[in-house]
Amino acid sequence: MALDSGVQPALETRGLAKSYGAVEVLRDINIEMGQGEFLVLVGPSGCGKSTLLNCIAGLEGITAGSLMIGGREVTQEPPKDRDIAMVFQSYALYPTMSVAENIGFGMKIRRVPKAQMDAKIMEVATLLQIDHLLDRNPSQLSGGQRQRVAMGRALVRDPKLFLFDEPLSNLDAKLRVEMRAEIKRLHKTTGASIVYVTHDQIEAMTLASRIVVLKGGDVQQIGTPQEIYDRPANTFVADFMGSPPMNIIPATVEAQKLVMDDVTLPAPTIGLPDKVQVGIRPEHLTLVSVTPDLHVKPTMIENTGAECYLNFQLGGVTVTARLPGRMDEDHTEMVGLGIAPGALNFFDAGTGTRIDL
């Protein structure tokens, strides 16, 4: 993301690394985040995303590199001096305090005048639609309401950077969807700069201005949700981002043809090695009755209501087509499928790195 001239990045890491003894947890992390961005750190368990968030917060020291918040070097500064606010996976509310007291506790510690504190509590509570709950204790609230209180406690700070550490993972599926929409609305309303950690790629896709995909302590790709979905940097990103994930099929290139088992498809005339991995999103396979690209035998059909997933074998792997409507789950006859124009992605057979043509 190109930043406006003269505008300091909300967050910048340069060559950031973190080790525990001989164990490297983060390697050469370089991120530049614009003011008002919603940056999501996503990846599987153990990829280093929460460690990176803790390094940004100052809860973990970094082994190498530097860290800037709002254009100010904070690499060696303690958390209290970084002008950040955190929202955790656990709500971490004081059970004997009311909602209003929980939201305003930090201001009380900083000796903010009562009138100013009360006004800020009401402003934030109204924004979060919990102004009618200010006299209640946390035990009287639902999980979603408790998470709103935790967010309110961060919002009254008006910091340079908000850090969210998997804030929705303790909620049930329906409430996660509601709170996801709430956080998105909150970001649009406040224009806050947010770094958000999740392992849920749906959260990442729906919330982020940009996504940082991590694996094993390394950045795999940084980009907008659409860039990462349409042009994944490697097979890991292709497989991780998307539900169902991108199909990755081994193929050989022979006489300008892609060969996968007994299937042949036209291949680009230049730029491809003899062996590749072909990527195609499940929704880019469509039912076709006349001159289909593929004739396949279903191995399993799953109906989900508005659509169905048709599985079949190609190139020695299971491939999924995401189709509208329903199909007979006992259907075993051959099915014709078409491939959307321009939908194929190509990856190096050895490294899994994207091949741009």
Question: Is the predicted pLDDT of residue 177 greater than 70, yes or no?
Answer: yes
- The sign of the dihedral angle between the CA atoms of 244, 246, 251, 256 is positive
Domain hosting 85: range is 11-239
Query: Are 228 and 316 contained in the same domain?
Result: no
pLDDT exceeds cutoff 90 at 19: yes
Entry pTM:
0.88
Which tokens belong to 20? 């525990």
Q: What is the pLDDT of residue 6?
A: 57
pLDDT per residue over 65-84, tens digit each?
Answer: 999 999 999 999 999 899 99
Output the six-digit token pair for 76.
């060696």
- Do 218 and 335 have their domain in common? no
Q: How many CB atoms lie within 10 A of CB 307?
A: 15
| pLDDT tens-digit readout, 182-209 | 889 889 988 999 999 999 999 999 999 9
SS (H, E, C) the chain: CCCCCCCCCCEEEEEEEEEECCEEEEEEEEEEECCCCEEEEECCCCCCHHHHHHHHHCCCCCCEEEEEECCEECCCCCHHHCCEEEECCCCCCCCCCCHHHHHHHHHHHCCCCHHHHHHHHHHHHHHCCCHHHCCCCHHHCCHHHHHHHHHHHHHCCCCCEEEEECCCCCCCHHHHHHHHHHHHHHHHHHCCCEEEEECCHHHHHHHCCEEEEEECCEEEEEECHHHHHHCCCEHHHHHHCCCCCCEEEEEEEECCEEEECCEEEECCCCCCCCEEEEEECHHHEEECCCCCCEEECCCEEEECCCEEEEEEEECCEEEEEEEECCCCCCCCCCEEEEECCCCCEEEECCCCEECCC
Examine the pLDDT at 2 and tell me if it is beyond 50.
Answer: no
Q: Is residue 304 part of a domain?
A: yes
Q: What is the pLDDT of residues 107-135, one digit of tens each?
A: 888 888 999 999 999 988 998 889 999 99
**Structural domain ending residue among the three candidates 239, 268, 291:** 239
Q: Are residues 197 and 304 in the same domain?
A: no
- Which percentage of the chain shows pLDDT scores above 70? 98
**Residues 302, 280 share a domain:** yes
Pair (84, 152) in one structural domain: yes
Instruction: Establish if 266 belongs to a structural domain.
Output: yes
Residues 18 and 78 in one domain: yes
With a cut of 80, say whether residue 296 has pLDDT above it: yes
Whether residue 146 sits in one domain with residue 65: yes
**133 and 251 together in one domain:** no
Query: Do residue 78 and residue 215 come from a single domain?
Result: yes
Q: Does residue 356 belong to any structural domain of this protein?
A: no
Pair 123, 250 in one domain: no
Average pLDDT, the chain: 91
Within this chain, do residues 63 and 113 fall inside the same structural domain, yes or no?
Answer: yes
* Alpha-carbon distances of 175 from 130, 152, 204, 214, rounded to whole Å: 16, 18, 16, 26
Q: List the single range of 89-93, 230-234, 276-280, 302-306 with lowest mean pLDDT.
A: 89-93
Question: Are 226 and 308 part of one and the same domain?
Answer: no
